[in-house]
Amino acid sequence: MSDHIEIKLDGAVQIIRMNRPDKKNALTAEMYGQMSDGLISAFENDAVKSVLILGCPGVFSAGNDIGDFMKIAMSGDRSSMQVFDFLEQLIMAKKPVIAGVDGLAIGIGTTMLLHCDYVIASEQASFKTPFVDLGLVPEAGSSLFAPRLMGHHRAFELLAMGEKFSPQDARDAGFVNAIVKSDVLEKTALDVAADIASKPPQAMEITRKLIRGDRSDILARMKEEAVLFGERLASDEAKQAFMAFMSKGK
Ligand code: COA
């Protein structure tokens, strides 16, 4: 098992850190599996009152590992798409989830934030979902949740046009709460997660349920997107985009 995902408890906060900086925290099937396990263990452990998702200084995540996409595209085997287990845990999260974003948040690096309860970005953060440019379609239920959150036009700009959002754009769109300097990002995010964790847990749980509402429609959309996404992975458009990325890396 790799150490690309670090999970540790800090007081009542379970920290899940993506830690593959040499690949810009590109997420592999194994990493999704570990993140999913990290969420489940946090939800099952009474000592944990909130979860904090972090990347590394300078990079949150460059999204799904394109090599993994390529493998699925070539083999047609979609059985190892642990990403959807991770997303299901996040969409239906039973405890508050906070994220601290420094640097790049691409693809699922951005869409996972839509399902967090509180997101802190550094001034260096940038958000981008180049699904269409890769021959793909949105995932994580974002095709339903993003227009609901930010309106059709901004959701189109983000999800269909693949435009880059600045921290301020993301705050205006409603998926970033606060913007801080990079050097205090992690401390601020941990302080917020600890503050949330310190509140009466039952009142927090009920309040959060009321605010989040029934997310079963988002989960259903995530599953619908997953089928289309799988089909798109095998498309010529996607294969060409993956090959272009991989050959630049060589
Ligand atoms: N999948 C696999 N590897 C990735 C990756 C990804 N999503 N993103 C970055 N990497 C790897 C690069 O291949 C490179 O590996 P190498 O050092 O072995 O060549 C390493 O991470 C560093 O990336 P590099 O491209 O050299 O850094 P950069 O600062 O010039 O650019 C990005 C960073 C993130 C803008 C660029 O790597 C990129 O566009 N990545 C793809 C993002 C993407 O489309 N994700 C999928 C969304 S659905």
* pLDDT over 70 at 171, yes or no: yes
Nearest CA to ligand 1 atom 25: 249
Query: Which atom number of ligand 1 is nearest to the Cα of residue 139?
Result: 48
Query: Which atom number of ligand 1 is nearest to the Cα of residue 65?
Result: 1
What is the DSSP annotation of 139-207? -TTHHHHHHHHH-HHHHIIIIIS-PPBPHHHHHHHTS--EEE-GGGHHHHHHHHHHHHHTS-HHHHHHH
> Domains along the chain?
5-184+214-249 (3.90.226.10)
Q: Which residues, including other chains, have CB under 8 Å from residue 46's CB and lie 6 or more apart?
A: none
The pLDDT tens digits for 55-65 are: 999 999 999 99
- Tokens at residue 73, please? 């595209």
pLDDT of residue 249: 59
* CB burial string 155-171: b at 16+ within 10 A, e below: bebbbeebeebebebbb
Q: Which residues line ligand 1 (CB under 6 A)?
A: 23-24, 26, 62-67, 104, 106-107, 130-131, 134, 245, 249
Q: What is the pTM of this model?
A: 0.97
The pLDDT tens digits for 201-231 are: 999 999 999 999 999 999 999 999 999 999 9
Ligand 1 center to residue 201 CA distance, Å?
40
With the most atoms of ligand 1 within 8 angstroms of its CB, the residue from 20, 24, 240 to mutate is 24
Ligand 1 center to residue 228 CA distance, Å?
24
* pLDDT over 90 at 250, yes or no: no
Ligand 1 center to residue 149 CA distance, Å?
28
